[in-house]
Amino acid sequence: HLVYISDAQDGLIAHCLLVGSPNGRGVKLGLPRPGGRVPRGIVVRYNTFVANGGGAVSSSYGAAENRIIGNVMLGTGDGANITAFRLVDGSSTRIEGNVGWGTSTVVAASAGHDRHDNRQIDPQLDAAYRPTNAELLGPANEPLVGHLTPTREHAPPATLTWQP
């Protein structure tokens, strides 16, 4: 794993480029064994995940009330970009506005996942891992997802309007 959050509360992982964990995840949210309701209140927002063989983000066991928002994920193996391992029912992990590519699905089915507006679409990353797909760019050609998304202090995440 590139980032492993086990016993933490109210943290932020944002604007990171997380590349190259062939046997692990980009970010793992969870204790190494069952017990406790942590990590809790962690926000994983506006990151780009490339070539993380075990998935981009994984939640496990008692991880609760975490948010995974506005990330770009590709090259994460055969399964889903966002996964869960024995995640407790009712963990309320909100997963919203993420873009995944090259996997079977963006978010794995889990009773603990609250999924909204995630989409499989090729982000067409350039050499700086910036999305160039017009569907992922704002009116000033700024990325709406991933690590190069402009910071908007005290503003909600950008709303992507998915075209059918």
| Per-residue pLDDT tens digits for 13-33 | 999 999 998 888 999 999 988
CA 59 to chain centre: 11
Q: Which structure tokens are listed for 7? A: 């016993």
pTM of the model: 0.90
Domain boundaries, the chain: 3-136
**Residue 157 vs residues 63, 71, 132, 143: alpha-carbon distances, Å:** 22, 11, 19, 12
Query: What sign has the CA pseudo-torsion 106, 95, 109, 82?
Result: positive
Alpha-carbon span 159 to 146, nearest angstrom: 13
CA 153 to chain centre: 20
pLDDT (tens digit per residue) in 41-93: 999 999 999 999 889 999 999 999 999 999 999 987 778 999 999 988 888 89
Q: Which structure tokens are listed for 5? A: 């959050």
